[in-house]
Chain A
Amino acid sequence: GAGVSQSPSNKVTEKGKDVELRCDPISGHTALYWYRQSLGQGLEFLIYFQGNSAPDKSGLPSDRFSAERTGGSVSTLTIQRTQQEDSAVYLCASSPGLAEAYEQFFGPGTRLTVL
């Protein structure tokens, strides 16, 4: 596609439910990144993929968070048993490769609200 797309754009869920956020990177980009932006805070790096591999998961806030990428393209970020503090905008970005991490193009984000 022309840019990074994310879905849904907005998600409201009840505390304790699981949610799945989707990211479609720019076609041909092998590196993909997930960030979280809480109200009034800067961007918080969560995890990156090179191809289908995520070598460092230490940025994920808790074991309720997981991410996967299949086919070197679409990625999903799953949050299990959501908590109110999970409410934030979740941003996805992609770059041609990890060596071009500075060339990240961002998607519009998914606004998650946990009631």
Chain B
Amino acid sequence: KNQVEQSPQSLIILEGKNCTLQCNYTVSPFSNLRWYKQDTGRGPVSLTIMTFSENTKSNGRYTATLDADTKQSSLHITASQLSDSASYICVVSDEGSQGNLIFGKGTKLSVKP
């Protein structure tokens, strides 16, 4: 069964600290993996997208990694800011089935001053 599991479920860190969020998936065949940031009360916004051949992708202070062999991805946030407080959702797309995205339940990150 295609699944996307994220950990931790929630995380609290101090402003300025780094953190890493995890995403494990069992989706097969794999097409691509995307990390979304969802602010409270808003729709998700894409941060990064990686295909099978890519193992790292950066977007400012956000760096995503992908290990297609172990089917794991991580999202690393450097020098966190209060505005990073949001839910971070990992989404995996399989090949072929158009529109078939498998969503993780997200990690809720709170950055405290």
Q: How far is the CA of A103 from the CA of B36 in the complex (A)?
A: 11
| Residues of chain B within 8 A of A43, CB atoms compared | 44, 89, 103
Which of chain B's residues have a CB closer than 8 A to the CB of A104?
46, 101
- A2 contacts partner chain B, Cβ-Cβ < 8 Å: no
Assess the B101–A42 pair: CB atoms within 8 A: no
**Chain A 78-115 interface mask (CB, 8 Å, partner B; 1/0):** 00000000000001010000110111111111010000
A-B Cβ contacts below 8 A, count: 49
Q: How far is the CA of A48 from the CA of B93 in the complex (A)?
A: 15
Which of B36, B44, B105: most chain A Cβ within 10 A? Answer: B44
* Given known A-B contacts A101-B93, A102-B93, A109 and B43 have beta carbons under 8 A apart: yes
Mark B residues whose CB is within 8 Å of A.
Answer: 31-32, 34, 36, 41-46, 49, 89, 93, 98-101, 103-106
Q: Which A residues fall within an 8 A CB radius of B?
A: 4, 31, 33, 41-43, 45, 48, 50, 91, 93, 98-99, 101-109, 111
* Sample of 20 A–B contacts (CB below 8 Å): A42-B89, A43-B44, A45-B101, A50-B98, A91-B44, A101-B98, A101-B99, A102-B31, A102-B32, A102-B34, A102-B101, A103-B49, A104-B46, A105-B46, A106-B43, A108-B41, A108-B43, A109-B41, A109-B42, A111-B41
